[in-house]
Amino acid sequence: MTVDLMAEYRRAGLFLEAGDPAEAARILEPVIEADPGNAGVRLQLALAYFGSAQLRRAETELRTLVERDPSDHFAHHVLGRTLERLSRPTEALPHLRLAVAMSPKSDYRDALTRVAARVGTTKRRLPDSAGW
C-alpha cells in the first residue's frame, strides 16, 4: 500500500471511530480499488458498510474475505450479523456457528443464540469460554 493509500486508510479509521461510517466507506472505496488484495482494508470497508447500513455491500466484502480466508472468525461473525440484519437468519447461522467454533467469544455466542432461536433450531451445546 502506498503512503497516500495508507494515509487514506488511517483517515477512514478516524471517521469510523468518530461514528461516521458512511464517510469512512467513501474514503475506503478507492483504496480497495487500488489494493484489492488487502484484507485489512477490505475488512474496514465492510465494517464501514455495516455501520452505515449498506448491508448488501458489507455482505459482498465479507464474502470475499471469507472465501479468501475461511479461518477468519471475525469475518464469519460479521457476515453472520450482516445476514441477520438483512433478515436472512438461516443463511447467517452457519457463519455464526463457525465463528463460535473458532473463537467462543461472548458476543459471538450471543449472536448465535439469538439467530438460532429466531430460526427455531434445537439448541446445541455452545462451547464455554474455556473451550470445548
CA-closest candidate to residue 85, choices 37, 107, 118: 118
The sign of the torsion formed by the CA atoms of 5, 7, 12, 13 equals positive
pLDDT band at 131 (very low <50, low <70, confident <90, very high): very low
C-alpha 116: how far from chain center: 18
Which stretches of the chain are assigned E, i.e. beta strand? none
d(CA 8, CA 28): 7
84-130: pLDDT as tens digits:
999 999 999 999 999 999 999 999 999 999 999 999 865 555 555 44
For the chain, what are the domain ranges? Answer: 1-54, 70-132
Residues 69-85 have a mean pLDDT of 98
Q: Which overall architecture, per CATH, does domain 1-54 show?
A: Alpha Horseshoe (1.25)
